Amino acid sequence: MGKLKVNDGKLLVGKANSPKRVTYDKVNISVTDFSTTSQFPFKLTAGLPGGGDADISGKAGPINPTDSSKTPFESAVKVNNMNIGALGIIDPASGIAGDASFDGTLTSTGSQAKAVGTFTGTKIKLAPKAPPAPKPVVIKHTVTVDLDNESGTITQGDITVGKAQAHLTGTFRTQGETEVVNLKLNAPPMPVEELEAVLPSMGVVLPSGSKLKGGTLTANLDIVGPLDKLVITGPVKLSDTSLVGFNLGSKMGALSAFAGKAASNPDTSIRNFSLNARVAPEGTQANNINLDVPAIGVITGLGR
């Protein structure tokens, strides 16, 4: 039996000279009753790149004699105020940013790992032009990882934004220095006002100065590709909502005469607004647009 203690050290993660290499400061490691042939308790705390901290404690062992990285362990993990952009795995040009916290467990048999817990994101941005989400994004998840093949599966991904709930499932794998994902987001009818800040990531960009009031949003999206170059595609539908601060009739020039009194209404009532979205690094596209505005009629087409 032995002890190991490291105080206020540094931990470098990533390949040398790689722009994605990050440094963890204030690393403290404590191991007691160390043994290569049986379990032993450990505790690790560290400062995170860009701010925040991590606290991991549990038991590990026995040490795998041929590959120490495959040593089994069980641990409780707490991460506070992690800066997502500072981790070096997401291209800043993607617009994805914010702070995150995590509270859960992480276990490993040596060949398979499993993470169960709750992720809470604040000031989350999912697109370059999107404002930070005003409400926390909470994800309760269960993730299994095949350590030998560097791949994994998200079997539970319950996402909550205010009163809105959606479900994320799928797979991911490591390819070089990048994580490549193949995910599906199933979003049943959700209150629109809870989601307005994340609409640009679904291909819905509102006119400047306007906002949505009432109604629901439904989406079924495929999310594929490297984390720093995600491509998001699928149908999105808004129902029974109002676009406050934007008069569609007045923007239609001579056609506004057909709108009658609608031309003087400062808001636009929308019965249905559906489209097939494609959000990618090269830009956003909207196909098969169907806009049903009771005061004007039905408008179809495509846009960018």
pLDDT one-digit tens code per residue, 167-210: 999 999 998 878 999 999 999 999 988 887 677 665 567 788 88
Q: Quick one: average pLDDT of 292-301?
A: 82
Q: Quick one: average pLDDT of 153-162?
A: 94
Q: Say yes or no to pLDDT of 281 above 50.
A: yes
| Neighbouring-strand partners of residue 100 | 82, 121
Q: Hey, what are 139's tokens?
A: 């994800």
pLDDT reported for residue 17: 65
Using CA atoms, how far residue 103 sits from 79, 135, 137, 169, 282, in Å, is 7, 19, 14, 20, 35
Q: Hey, what are 119's tokens?
A: 């992720």
* Bigger pLDDT: 129 vs 34: 34
pTM of the shown model: 0.78
Q: Quick one: average pLDDT of 143-153?
A: 95
Q: What is the mean pLDDT of the chain?
A: 86
**Confidence bin at 297 (pLDDT 50/70/90):** confident
* Bigger pLDDT: 124 vs 260: 124
Residue pLDDT, tens place only, 36-81: 899 999 999 999 988 899 999 999 999 999 998 899 999 999 999 9
- In sequence order, the 6+-apart residues with CB closer than 8 A to the CB of 192 are 212, 213, 214, 215, 216, 217, 238, 241
Q: What are phi and psi of 147, to 5 degrees?
A: -70, -30
pLDDT reported for residue 86: 83
pLDDT reported for residue 295: 77
* Bigger pLDDT: 90 vs 39: 39
**Confidence bin at 156 (pLDDT 50/70/90):** very high
Cα distance between residue 142 and residue 235, in whole Å:
26
pLDDT reported for residue 24: 84
Cα distance between residue 21 and residue 64, in whole Å:
27
Cα distance between residue 54 and residue 82, in whole Å:
8
Domain borders along the chain are: 89-303
- In sequence order, the 6+-apart residues with CB closer than 8 A to the CB of 265 are 247, 249, 295
Using CA atoms, how far residue 154 sits from 144, 171, 172, 291, 304, in Å, is 7, 6, 8, 35, 32
